[in-house]
Structure 1
Amino acid sequence: MLKIGLLGAGRIGQVHAVNIVAHPQSELVAVSDKFDDAAQNLARVHGAVVRTSEEIIADPAIDAVLIATSTDTHADLMEAATAAGKAVLCEKPVDLDLKRAVDCLARCKPHGKPVMVGFNRRFDPNFNSLKSAFDKGEIGKGELLSITSFDPAPPPVSYVKVSGGIFRDMAIHDFDMACWIYGELPEKVTAIGSSIVDPEIGKAGDFDTAITTLEFSGGRMAVIKNSRRAAYGYDQRIEFLGSDGLLAAHNVLENTVEIITRAGATKAKPEHFFLERYAKAYQIEWNSFIEGVEGDTELPVTLQDGINALIVAEAAALSAREGRTVDVAKEIPA
């Protein structure tokens, strides 16, 4: 039984707490948050105690920590936790600054403790099945990957200003998916963006709508479409064209009922937001973390994977800013 400390009691911390408690091999023993009420409420629900992050990390009785705090704290907390001999699952991104993320890997690695980055979409059963089918050769050579990722509504501008931008904050999930499916970093990145959903997002220096094209070795490509607004719900789809066929993972709908009458056919909308859409993925993610730590095997999403996604995000941001294609190896030192 692994004793777990949860750092961060916000929305995503609450999701993780449920999965920690539900797993037969993990016990949530302590919670921290900069807002004491949030920590107290979550600890009370799950029978844990409230402590500071520093106290949790320093406690030798705690085996692992799950980091669900603000992005600017991730690297520091990972370094402190691994130095204290703890396994770590940390929400994405590693950091908003690529150099800081690379430094974090260099500082964590010597301690030899497992570190997993929370790219939860890899654990979605549909996307995971698509990846498995590709790896088995079901569509032959993969040639054109298309990823659609639309949020139902834009975040507050106050969040946008500290998020790191659409490429580091939102599209980074899709960059990780593309690298994971193809099994490598892209060679070139071209991105365009605009603020057509909310002009205030543009005034804050960010985009709310973006298209990124990734060029992989051998001429293989990926096209990623991002928007902060899809009025019908949370739109999450993948299509993958190969030499022998097509793989497709469609939206998860609110229900499976379809109404068919003389007038036509209707069915439910996509799940409204990521908490509903990826509930199962978060559960499988935690299961995978526990299996890796207890089995002393490599975790399925490494700190290097987190850096790779950030490399692509950096390239996309540079491309959109300067209106040109970016050569990743030459222009994004990591």
Structure 2
Amino acid sequence: MLRIAVLGAGRIGRIHSTNVAAHPNAKLIAIADPVAAAVDPLAEALGAEAMNDPIAAIDRDDVDAIVIGTPSDNHADLLLHAVAKGKAVMCEKPIDAGMERSQAVVDDVKAKGGKVMMAFNRRFETSFAAIRKAIEAGEIGEVRQVIISSRDPGLPPEDYVKSSGGIFRDMTIHDLDMARFMLGEEPVEVSATASRIVDEALTAKYDDYDTVMVTLKTASGKQCHINNCREAVYGYDQRVEVFGATGMLQHDNLRPTTVRRWTADITEAQEPLLNFFLQRYAQAYASELDAFITALVEGKPLPTSVEDGLKALALAEAAIESVRTGQTVRL
């Protein structure tokens, strides 16, 4: 039975806490968040202790592992403290908003032999995982192109935009990791463009963007195109296409049902898309946590690492540099 403390009682913290509490091989010991109004009712509902100091939660003798779902700007400090205390860690992306600090974290984790899993939940989504297995099985031959569309249903709250590190580090980074996952090779060229067209005042205030495109190229010539936007009025748009030498794989959006309707007024009408990432990736979050717990309980390697977080962030930083200079960035 793995004893776990979850840091953060916001959107991500709530789903991680719920999944820990429901897991047969884990016990949710504590949830820590400085905001009492967020953590108190959640901890009470899940039978855990509410705490306001994340460091104190890490230091507990009755905690074996930590799940970090706090704002991005304190991931690195909490991760390093947990590793120093000998605790296994599952941490949301990014490691940190900057490459220098992220590299230092990776170096420290390696030096201490820390067990850290970066929470790239989309790798654990059933259909995305099935696509990767099909690629590995050679079903479509050598991969040539990957196309990823990822659009949110609406802008996040300003407090999130303020501390997220920007669209490339908090949103596109998922798709950059997915690109690595599907291509099977590391990109060596990054080209990006970005716009402020959903809410120019908000994104400009924090030197951020709300609509971006990224193109990646590997040393062998494989390509990936990523589309991101903070607002899709029709719902949470999540699609992947992988084109290979002998075929193609696609994964379309999810809906509450697959029912289609025909009437005198409409043709092939369907229910709206699932409208939020917590709905769309509920299964992926649960499978991700299960992979973390199972690896620790069985003494197996963690399925993702801090190096995966560093490589995804390096691609995000290259995309930011490409937007700044208008040039392709070579890695």
Give the structure-2-normalised TM-score: 0.96
Amino acid paired to 2:222: R
Q: Residue 288 and residue 300 in structure 1: after superposition, are their counterparts in 2 closer, same or farther (change >3 A)? A: same
Q: Quick one: distance in 1 between partners of 2:203 and 2:270?
A: 35
Q: How does 1:123-134 map to 2 (within 5 A)?
A: 123-134=124-135
Once the 2 structures are TM-superposed, how far is the Cα of residue 299 of structure 1 from its aligned partner? 0.9
- Structure 1 partner of 2:16: 16
1:48 maps onto 2:48 in alignment: yes
Does structure 1 conserve the Cα–Cα contact (< 8 Å) formed by 2:73 and 2:164? no
1:77 maps onto 2:78 in alignment: yes
Q: Quick one: distance in 2 between partners of 1:212 and 1:192?
A: 7
- Structure 1 partner of 2:32: 32
Once the two structures are superposed, what CA deviation does each residue of 1:128-149 show, in whole Å capped at 9, x if it has no partner? 1111111111100100100000
Once the 2 structures are TM-superposed, how far is the Cα of residue 265 of structure 1 from its aligned partner? 1.7
Q: Quick one: distance in 1 between partners of 2:91 and 2:19?
A: 15
Structure 2 gaps, min length 5: none
Once the two structures are superposed, what CA deviation does each residue of 1:37-63 show, in whole Å capped at 9, x if it has no partner? 222111101111123222222222211
Does structure 2 conserve the Cα–Cα contact (< 8 Å) formed by 1:234 and 1:273? yes
Amino acid paired to 2:313: L
1:265 maps onto 2:233 in alignment: no
Give the structure-1-normalised TM-score: 0.95
Q: Which of 305, 312, 315 does residue 312 from structure 1 map onto?
A: 315
Greater displacement, 48-57 / 13-22: 48-57
- Structure 2 partner of 1:168: 169
Once the 2 structures are TM-superposed, how far is the Cα of residue 244 of structure 1 from its aligned partner? 0.3
CA RMSD of aligned residues (A): 1.3
- Equivalent residue of 1:218, what SS? coil
Q: How does 1:114-263 map to 2 (within 5 A)?
A: 114-204=115-205, 205-261=207-263, 263=265
Q: Which of 258, 277, 286 does residue 274 from structure 1 map onto?
A: 277
Once the two structures are superposed, what CA deviation does each residue of 1:97-152 show, in whole Å capped at 9, x if it has no partner? 11111111111223323110111111110111111111111100100100000111
Once the 2 structures are TM-superposed, how far is the Cα of residue 88 of structure 1 from its aligned partner? 0.4
Amino acid paired to 1:183: G
Amino acid paired to 2:258: T
Number of corresponding residues? 328
Once the 2 structures are TM-superposed, how far is the Cα of residue 262 of structure 1 from its aligned partner? 5.2
Once the two structures are superposed, what CA deviation does each residue of 1:39-98 show, in whole Å capped at 9, x if it has no partner? 211110111112322222222221101111111111111111111111101111111111
Q: Residue 107 and residue 24 in structure 1: after superposition, are their counterparts in 2 closer, same or farther (change >3 A)? A: same
- Equivalent residue of 1:255, what SS? coil
Q: Quick one: distance in 1 between partners of 2:204 and 2:80?
A: 35
Does structure 2 conserve the Cα–Cα contact (< 8 Å) formed by 1:201 and 1:208? no
Once the two structures are superposed, what CA deviation does each residue of 1:2-46 show, in whole Å capped at 9, x if it has no partner? 111111111111101111011110000111101122221111011
Does structure 1 conserve the Cα–Cα contact (< 8 Å) formed by 2:71 and 2:164? no
Q: Quick one: distance in 2 between partners of 1:56 and 1:150?
A: 35
Q: Quick one: distance in 1 between partners of 2:198 and 2:41?
A: 36
Amino acid paired to 2:9: A
Q: Quick one: distance in 1 between partners of 2:78 and 2:160?
A: 22
Identity %: 43
Q: Residue 292 and residue 120 in structure 1: after superposition, are their counterparts in 2 closer, same or farther (change >3 A)? A: same
Q: Quick one: distance in 2 between partners of 1:269 and 1:31?
A: 34
Q: Quick one: distance in 2 between partners of 1:323 and 1:156?
A: 29
Once the 2 structures are TM-superposed, how far is the Cα of residue 201 of structure 1 from its aligned partner? 3.5
